[in-house]
Chains A and B, each alone.
Chain A
Amino acid sequence: MDLLEYQGKQLFARFGLPVSEGAPAATAAEARAVAEQLGGPVVVKAQGLVGGRGKAGGIKLAADPAEAEQHAAAILGMDIRGHTVRQLWIERASDIASEYYFSITFDRGAKQPLLMLTTEGGVEIETVAEESPEELARLHVDPLMGLQPFHVRRLCFAAGIPAPEVKQVGAIIEGAYRAFIETDAMLVEINPLIVTPDGVVRALDSKYTVDDNALYRHPDIAGMRDAESGDPQERLARERGVNFVKLDGGDIGTLANGAGLAMSTLDVVAAAGEATGHRPANFLDVGGGADAEAIATAMEVLLSDPNVRAVLFNVFGGITRGDEVAHGILTALERLDATLPIVVRLDGTNADEGRRILADAAPPNLHVEATMLGAAARVVELVDGSAA
């Protein structure tokens, strides 16, 4: 789960990391009130999970509360890379002498947390890594040993942090590592980590990702999820507990059991539809032991996309039995009164029986195929026909 900038900063503050004073605002009036309370110049910052806010005009400096209100009114409702801004963060403006970068990532390749620090902050870290890798200090920490003072010293010396700032930067590294471990983070990034002209080091931005599988240990963080954000179909899927990802520009709904088979299904459908311009509309994994209820719920999510004009079921029965899946499909079709073409490919345990059940019921829009590739070709053919 990705957190908004201000949510990440709230966690920073909890772990003793210095951040600018500020408050969230959802309206221009609220922004003005926050600016009045803070006093002096403030920064009005669009909150969203997409990058490039600054370039898109989503971050503005305001000299006084009236200007803060104007900027807030302009930024709220703005479209930044397909996402509408609905939330702002207003904070006291900072004077910046230098910009550093610090992050901790969950390095799955090395199986250790990776700490990165550079005095070349304020830009995309990939750029620094490519153009001046010698400026980027990198250090893995054995998670069983934990972060030790020597790690912090090594990192600061390697990055060339000026002596007067080492103590402050060191404390930030220690606090961020504690936050990373104690909140089950996959990423904690501070870019920029600024130094003010009078030598104060502070986190000016945050990127914070928490492991979904660990949210049960962090109900406070789980509660930060913005139920309103994101694609409405993905929202519906989340509410219904369906493992679903929307794909852009697709017209073929897909459903499979198991994540790997579901991904593979997308790939074969895309290959089959390439020549005629048809694409999969989604990833959907109904999971193991899918019963009629689960299939009906999944179908409901699939059909909530008006662009979907045909559906492919690709089920490989392992523990899941083909006859149960067949009954589930028939129940779902009846309950949802679905009339669009549906191609079913059923294999594995009790698949023969399942195919026989479907053949006996024989709804006119149901097409049974024997193989995965055959089913992909068929659903493309049907959706292409329905487009004419």
Chain B
Amino acid sequence: MPIIVTAETRLVVQGITGREGRFHTLRNRDYGTAVVAGVTPGKGGQDVDGVPVYDTVAEAVAEQDANTAMVFVPPRFAADAIYEAVDAGCGTIICITEGIPAHDMLRIYNYIRPRGVTMLGPNCPGALSPGIANVGIIPAQVFAAGRVGLVSRSGTLTYQIGKELADLGLGNSTIVGIGGDPIVGSSFIDILERFEADPGTDLIVMVGEIGGDEEEKAGAYIDEHVSKPVVAYIAGFQAPAGKTMGHAGAIISGSSGTAAGKQQALQARGIPVGDSPTAAARLAAERLG
């Protein structure tokens, strides 16, 4: 059984008529995701290869019962798009857009949390439940269906680990990209909680990186609340302090947010940390016997 993107997902794509939006929408639909609508203001009444386009998310929800929004609009319009999706009643929002101002996301986070909205991203590859649904830009062919839950702040690194797992004969329940920005809609803890509750997940692989303290918090949470085995990988041991390493959130501030600090915090809680993606996949395979 998957989490976040499931057989019940009815997707509306904001920014469907853009080049990237169109490309990935159709890939998601080809994979089997129920892509029920798109939104581009001013282009209502058109369609993208048969997917009806609306002017507003509210119309898409009213006409097509969309329950999940994928945001593909440029950064300066993304905050507005996210609020629009929340206002229209979408319970799940997956924001692929990279480059949203941190203050915009600060306000969005504080707005959506008390409303119970699930959000992935921004700056994330989306979520894939192999064999069921794919929302975002994750290359589905890399992953096999199975019982390993995968949660990550990074895109290609996740594909790498998914491939290493597949090479060892392990598949995934759901692959969740939470995003590489300083503030993202869902933390590791939010996703760990869902994998713990998911009967289709036997083990969780958590892929972290430098910056912030979400991995440390996740370690404490796992210790108290997660009964399933968790293995981790952390990227960025070689990162110098004060430099943004590609992801806006991947920055060591002073002495906080280092890879070594995260590794120690996790290991201190008994969570094994692989020193390469390959090693992390092997740890997962060992745990599953």
- A258 adjacent to B155 (CB under 8 Å): yes
A262–B100 alpha-carbon span in the complex (Å): 22
Q: How many residues on chain A are close to B (CB under 8 Å)?
A: 52
- Per the bound structure, the CA–CA distance linking A112 and B109 in Å amounts to 10
**Closest residue on chain A to residue B276 by CB atoms:** A268
With beta carbons under 8 angstroms apart, the residue of A248, A263, A279, A317 that contacts B246 is A263
The answer to whether A263 touches B209 (Cβ under 8 A) is yes
Whole-angstrom distance between the alpha carbons of A78 and B110 in the complex? 46
A239-286 residues at the B interface, CB under 8 angstroms: 243, 245, 247-248, 256-264, 266-268, 270-271, 279-280, 283, 285
Q: Are A211 and B159 in contact (CB under 8 A)?
A: no
Are A267 and B102 neighbours in the complex by a CB distance under 8 Å?
no
B180:A280 contact, CB within 8 angstroms: no
Instruction: Return the chain A residue nearest B103 by Cβ.
Output: A184
> Nearest chain A CB to B207's CB is how many angstroms away?
7
Per the 8 Å Cβ criterion, residues 206-238 of A in contact with B are 211-214, 216-217
Give the distance to chain A from B264, nearest Cβ to Cβ, in Å. 16
B135 contacts partner chain A, Cβ-Cβ < 8 Å: no
A264 touches B75 (CB 8 A): no
Minimal beta-carbon separation of B172 from chain A (angstroms): 15
Interfacial residues of chain B within 122-146, with CB under 8 A of chain A in the complex: 125, 137-139, 141-142
Among A259, A264, A270, A318, point to the contact of B138 (Cβ < 8 A).
Answer: A318
Is A319 an interface residue when CB atoms closer than 8 A count as contact? yes
A348 to B277 CA separation, bound complex (whole angstroms): 15
**In the bound complex, what is the Cα–Cα distance between A263 and B76 (angstroms)?**
27
Flag the segment in B1-9, B192-200, B231-239 that touches A: B231-239
Partner of A258, one of B107, B157, B237, B244: B157
Q: With A108-B183, A263-B236 known to touch, is A372 a contact of B278 (CB < 8 Å)?
A: yes
Q: A260-B154, A261-B154 are in contact. Are A212 and B248 (CB under 8 A)?
A: yes
CB of B191, distance to nearest CB on chain A (Å)? 16
Q: How large is the interface on B (under 10, 10 to 19, 20 to 34, 35 or more residues)?
A: 35 or more
Cβ of B41 within 8 Å of any chain A Cβ, yes or no, is no
Contact B102 A260 (CB under 8 A): no
B160 close to A316 (CB less than 8 A): yes
- The reply on B106 being an interface residue by CB < 8 A is yes
- In the complex, which residues of chain A have a beta carbon less than 8 angstroms from the beta carbon of B152? 260
- The answer to whether the Cβ of A385 comes within 8 Å of any Cβ in the partner chain is no
Measured CA separation A257–B261 after assembly (Å): 26
- Mark each residue of chain A from 111 to 137: 1 if its CB lies under 8 Å from any CB of chain B, else 0: 111000000000000100000000000
A260 → B minimal CB distance (Å): 2
Kindly identify which residue among A260, A319, A349 contacts B137, using a CB–CB cutoff of 8 Å: A319
Residues of chain A within 8 A (CB-CB) of B110 are 111-112, 142-144
State A330–B250 Cα separation when bound (angstroms).
Answer: 31
With A and B bound together, what is the CA distance between A372 and B249 in angstroms?
25
A358 to B223, CA, bound (A): 48
The chain A residue with its CB closest to the CB of B212 is A108
Compute how far the CA of A81 lies from the CA of B221 in the bound complex, rounded to whole angstroms.
40
Q: Cα distance A245–B75 when bound, in Å?
A: 23
The distance in angstroms between the C-alpha atoms of A318 and B102, with both chains bound, is 27
Chain A nearest CB: distance from B103 CB in Å? 5
State which of B102, B160, B275 has its C-beta within 8 Å of the C-beta of A372: B160
Residues of B within 8 A of A347 (CB): 160, 163
Number of CB contacts from chain A to chain B under 8 A: 167
A210 CB to closest chain B CB (Å) equals 10
Question: How distant is the Cα of A263 from the Cα of B245 in the complex, in angstroms?
Answer: 7
Picked from B139, B210, B249, the residue with its CB within 8 Å of the CB of A263 is B210
Distance between B160 CB and nearest chain A CB, rounded to angstroms: 5
A248 touches B240 (CB 8 A): yes
Check if B147 is an interface residue, CB within 8 A of chain A. no
Q: Are B276 and A372 in contact (CB under 8 A)?
A: yes
Q: Tell me the minimal C-beta distance from B271 to chain A in angstroms.
A: 18
Task: Please name all residues of chain A whose beta carbon is closer than 8 Å to the beta carbon of B109 when the two chains form the complex.
Answer: 111
Q: Does A270 contact B160, Cβ atoms closer than 8 Å? A: no
Check A266–B101 contact: CB distance below 8 A.
no
Q: A283-B246, A316-B159 are in contact. Are A266 and B239 (CB under 8 A)?
A: yes
Beta-carbon contact of B183 and A263 below 8 Å? no
Contacts of B289 in A (CB 8 A): none
Closest partner residue, chain B, to A108 (CB atom): B182
Provide the bound-state CA to CA distance between A373 and B164, in Å: 12
Q: Which residues of A contact B267 (CB under 8 A)?
A: none
Known: A216-B76, A258-B154, A267-B238. A245 touches B243 (CB 8 A): yes
- A85 to B9: give the CA distance in the assembly, Å: 57
Contact A262 B245 (CB under 8 A): yes
Contact with B along A135-170 (1 / 0, CB 8 A): 000000011100000000000000000000000000
B166 vs chain A, min Cβ distance (A): 11
**10 cross-chain pairs, A with B, having the tightest CB-CB distances, nearest first:** A260-B154, A259-B246, A258-B156, A260-B157, A214-B101, A318-B139, A266-B238, A263-B235, A261-B156, A285-B246
Interface residues of A (CB under 8 A from B): 106, 108-109, 111-113, 126, 142-144, 181, 184, 186, 211-214, 216-217, 243, 245, 247-248, 256-264, 266-268, 270-271, 279-280, 283, 285, 288, 316-319, 347-349, 371-373
15 A-B pairs besides A126-B254, A285-B246, A318-B138 with CB distance below 8 A are A106-B103, A109-B213, A142-B110, A143-B103, A259-B180, A260-B156, A260-B158, A260-B180, A260-B247, A263-B236, A264-B160, A268-B276, A316-B159, A317-B139, A373-B278
